[in-house]
């Protein structure tokens, strides 16, 4: 049990640019299951909830209200490909904050950095839409791509970013 660390590797107002980097990072993964991906968004009003669910009626809705019903709610959607993730996040980006998370992958070993083993337990990739933090707690015009890795494994995220033509652009956050 433990939490990831999440390093931002891109902040951009162009969601297409964020997905292009995510695809390059996924191609660096030593193993990747495209169905190991989901989208999450939050609704704090009935209008936002109706718009989110209206775009994807199969989305799951869970209330976080004190009594277990009503607002705010978490809206979640499983996807099976990068194309589906892109379609859903683009649709939701005009409505609220949210993120797409790829969690069923492995980051490769990097022996030249002393990282002799693949990383799978903490290996995740995330695009935070309309946010600069992994929890999408505050709306911004920017989208942020995060590489999640093992805490203390500070060299791997920079190496991964470099493989995809990017670099670390800010301090890491505590993940989940």
pLDDT tens digits for 122-172?
A: 999 999 999 999 999 999 999 999 999 999 899 999 999 999 999 999 999
Higher pLDDT, 76 or 69: 76
What's the whole-number mean pLDDT along residues 69-81?
A: 93
Segment 98-110 mean pLDDT: 96
Q: Is pLDDT of 2 > 80?
A: no
The per-residue pLDDT of the chain, averaged, comes to 95
Task: Give the pLDDT confidence of 27-41 residue by residue, as tens digits.
Answer: 999 898 988 999 999
DSSP string, the chain: ----EEEEEEEES-HHHHHHHHHHHHHHSSEE-TTSEEEEEEESSHHHHHHHHHH-TT-EEEE-STTSSSSSEEEEEEESSHHHHHHHHHHHHTTS-EEEEE-SEEBPPBGGGTB-S-B-SS-EEEEEET-SSTT--S--S-EEEEEEE-TT-THHHHHHHHHTT----S--EE--
Task: Tell me the β-bridge partners of 102.
Answer: 37, 125
Q: Quick one: pLDDT at residue 1?
A: 52
Residue 162 structure tokens? 């470099």
Examine the pLDDT at 106 and tell me if it is beyond 90: yes
Per-residue pLDDT, 69:
87
Q: What is the pTM of this model?
A: 0.96
- Do the Cβ atoms of 135 and 148 come closer than 8 Å? no
Question: Cα–Cα distance between 132 and 143 in angstroms, integer?
Answer: 7
CB 134 within 8 A of CB 126: yes
pLDDT recorded at residue 66? 85
Burial class (CB in 10 A: 0-12, 13-18, 19+), 1: exposed
């Amino acid at each position: 049990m433990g939490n990831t660390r999440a390093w931002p590797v891109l902040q951009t107002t162009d969601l297409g640019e964020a997905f292009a980097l995510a695809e390059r990072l996924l191609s660096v993964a030593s193993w990747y299951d495209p169905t190991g991906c989901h989208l999450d968004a939050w609704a704090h009003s009935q209008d936002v909830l109706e718009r989110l669910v209206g775009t994807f009626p199969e989305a799951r809705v869970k209330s976080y209200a004190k009594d277990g019903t009503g607002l705010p709610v978490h809206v979640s959607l499983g996807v099976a490909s990068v194309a589906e993730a892109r379609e859903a996040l683009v649709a939701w980006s005009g409505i609220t904050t949210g993120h797409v998370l790829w969690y069923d992958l492995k980051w490769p070993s990097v022996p030249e950095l002393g990282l002799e083993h693949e990383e799978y337990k903490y290996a995740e990739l995330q695009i935070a839409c309309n946010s600069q933090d992994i929890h999408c707690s505050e709306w911004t015009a920017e989208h942020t791509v995060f590489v999640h890795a093992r805490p203390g494994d500070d060299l791997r995220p920079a190496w991964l970013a470099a493989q995809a033509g990017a670099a670390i652009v800010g301090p890491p956050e505590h993940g989940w």
